[in-house]
Structure 1
Amino acid sequence: MADKIDLETMRRVTDAALRIVQSEMSQDGLLELKQNFYWEISSPERYDTKQKPQLESIGSLHDDWEFISDLKESISDANPLLLVHISALLLYVAEQWAERP
């Protein structure tokens, strides 16, 4: 089991996976958001597998995308906390790819 995450490998694999999704599912580089809301589990609970999590809040893919797309023109304003929003969107994209016909 790995004790460290190689961030460069993570970046390269994520980019490669997104390129596959883009080539197989989108001619214009856009993927339709067919869902919006999802359950969010707080960080401490997400990693405590000894207790069942309390579903505290609902997230919005539309809001997540808005946070990300607002930075398109000012990418230097991006910060690592945006990975929370990106991760929800990546999960959605992966699920859409897995469910494609």
Structure 2
Amino acid sequence: MVSYLIELARGANRLHELLRKENGVKETALHDAVRTGNEDIVVTLLTVDPELGNYPEEGTSPLYLATVLAKYAIARTLHYKSNGNLSYSGPYGQNALHAA
């Protein structure tokens, strides 16, 4: 289903806009994939938008979330699929190192 929705967004030329869209608590679909521990969806999202790990610009990053939830395989996937270009930020001025 995720792949199908990505193709629909791509067809409408709104792929990055929709993937980077934040919900009411400033999280993207990548955050949900991390939270549920679905590495396949994490890989799919980062394959089509390797910079998705930088969003949201303010708030809790997907890497911080993966670390605090002890989803270390997903944290590694985030790092590799984004070529290391991702946010480490967390709440209250913390970062992924604090969470570790």
TM-score by length of 2: 0.26
- Select the structure with the greater relative contact order (CA < 8 A; seq sep ≥ 6): 2
1 or 2, which has the higher strand percentage? 1
- The higher radius of gyration belongs to 1
1 or 2, which has the higher helix percentage? 2
